[in-house]
Amino acid sequence: MEKARQRLEHLWRRGREFLGTDYAIMGGAMSWISERNLVAAISNGGGFGVLACGSMTPALLAEEIRATQELTLRPFGVNLITLHPQLEALIDVCGEMEVGHVVLAGGLPTGAAIKRAKDTGAKVICFAPAVVLAKKLLRSGVDALVIEGTEAGGHIGPVATSVLAQEILPVIDAVPVFAAGGIGRGEAILSLLEMGAAGCQLGTRFVCATECIAHPNFKRAFIRAAARDAVPSVQVDLQFPVIPVRALGNNATRRFVEFQMEVIARFRAGEIEQKEAQLQIEHFWAGALKRAVIDGDIENGSLMAGQSVGLVTREQPTVDILAELVEQALAALVAREGPVSTLARC
């Protein structure tokens, strides 16, 4: 076991040192879920919690950061959406609150935004969905990257984590690269570390943490779900693009397909302009995540979940989830030692 621990320590040392944590395991930033309680629990448990700013105002973000700092003395980060109209002010709040790591997500950040965040003294982490964009971000000065596959929950890209890992990890070594999307067990973390990842990011796995404030109905939906239940949202017409979101299928996802068809029919009939039709489609999900996470309406709200939801089987304290992930990785390493040692003696 000691040899396995040393091996794991070697594999994720770079990620641990970058994050300042015991484990190179980041918590995915999930709106309404990754707030002070869960973020502090992940950091206190040895991982790296990340606050989801979402649509917060600068004042609300400052309050949430302050509240998190009261719950943990361990490092944590703040995830900011690049399309937020007050992005610069939010970055400044992170600087004023001495946030050590800023994650810029939801689109390719500008060089100016990256520089502004770095000028606060924070380490900047960005998402890279392709090698060419990873290299562009490196030129802009990012300190670390996250590669997130289509298995993830929420807004997703088209490429699987396993493929992104093969494309990006062998060619990007200048900064730590964390892998995300569909990761729910320690063996998967180990595999990605051995491919060259500095660590991993998990979101869905932490939804049923005891400290997570998600409504009991929301958590029960996760515990009952299988991997195939987490599906991308459907686009019915190429003329009206929909950014795919992976979530558990429910009445809302079925209604979304019908709603698109109704709106597009009104456009075809000349009742509304194309821009108005597109806006109506985009606004369908407004408030839907809060309805599910906070209010517990799991039929008409959005149940954003990654395909690893099938690995969520019960509610657990965050510290136990993290310990379980590490134990699984170690067990895989220990199991590997036996046959190798036997062959070595032959």
pTM confidence score:
0.94
Q: Considering its fold, how many domains does the chain have in total?
A: 2
For the cut 50, the answer to whether the pLDDT of residue 340 exceeds it is no
Cβ atoms of 105 and 81 closer than 8 Å: yes
310: DSSP letter:
G
Look-up of token digits 């709200």 = 301
- Asked if residue 344 has pLDDT above 70, the reply is no
pLDDT for position 115? 98
Residues 128 and 277 in one domain: no
Span 320-336, pLDDT tens digits: 999 999 999 999 999 98
Residue 51 pairs in a beta bridge with: 78
In a domain, 63, yes or no: yes
Pair (93, 18) in one structural domain? yes
Using a pLDDT cut of 90, give the percent of the chain over it.
96
Shared domain for 186 and 79, answered yes or no, is: yes
DSSP 82: T
Residues 235 and 298 in one domain: yes
Same domain, 241 and 206: no
Question: Does residue 24 belong to any structural domain of this protein?
Answer: yes
pLDDT tens per residue across span 163-208: 999 999 999 999 999 999 999 999 999 999 999 999 999 999 999 9
Whether 345 is covered by a domain: the verdict is no
CA 5: distance to chain centroid? 26
Is 203 part of a structural domain of the chain? yes
Token output for 261: 């068809």
Order of strands, sheet of 144-148, starting from the edge strand that comes earlier in the sequence: 25-27, 199-202, 177-180, 144-148, 123-127, 101-105, 76-81, 49-52
**Residue 337: pLDDT band by 50, 70, 90 thresholds?**
confident
55 with 131, same domain: the answer is yes
Write the single-letter amino acid at 272.
Answer: I
- Residue whose C-alpha is closest to residue 333's, from 157, 206, 189: 189
Residue 234 lies in a domain: yes
The domain of 328 spans: 2-213+315-340
What percentage of the chain reaches a pLDDT higher than 70?
97
Distance between CA atoms of residues 331 and 122, nearest Å: 35
Q: What is the DSSP letter of 81?
A: E
Beta-strand ranges (E) seen in the chain are: 25-27, 49-52, 76-81, 101-105, 123-127, 144-148, 154-155, 177-180, 199-202, 230-232, 245-248
Q: What is the pLDDT of residue 342?
A: 41
- The per-residue pLDDT for 345 is 41
Mean pLDDT of the chain: 96
Residue 96 and residue 137 in one domain = yes
Residue 62 and residue 41 share a domain: yes
The answer as to whether 105 is a domain residue is yes
Structural domain contains residue 70: yes
- State mean pLDDT over 80-100: 97
What does the pLDDT look like over 42-70, one tens digit per residue? Answer: 999 999 999 999 999 999 999 999 999 99
Q: Are residues 13 and 108 in the same domain?
A: yes
**Mean pLDDT calculated for residue range 105-132:** 97
Q: What is the pLDDT of residue 336?
A: 85
115 and 252 part of one domain: no
Are 203 and 174 found together in one domain? yes
Same domain, 26 and 164: yes
Query: Which CATH number belongs to the domain containing residue 169 in this structure?
Result: 3.20.20.70
Contacts of 180 (CB under 8 A, 6+ apart): 26, 28, 146, 147, 148, 149, 152, 161, 200, 201, 202, 203
Cα–Cα dist 208/221, whole Å? 10
- The better pLDDT of the pair 14, 337 is held by 14
Kindly state whether residue 123 falls inside one of the protein's structural domains. Answer: yes
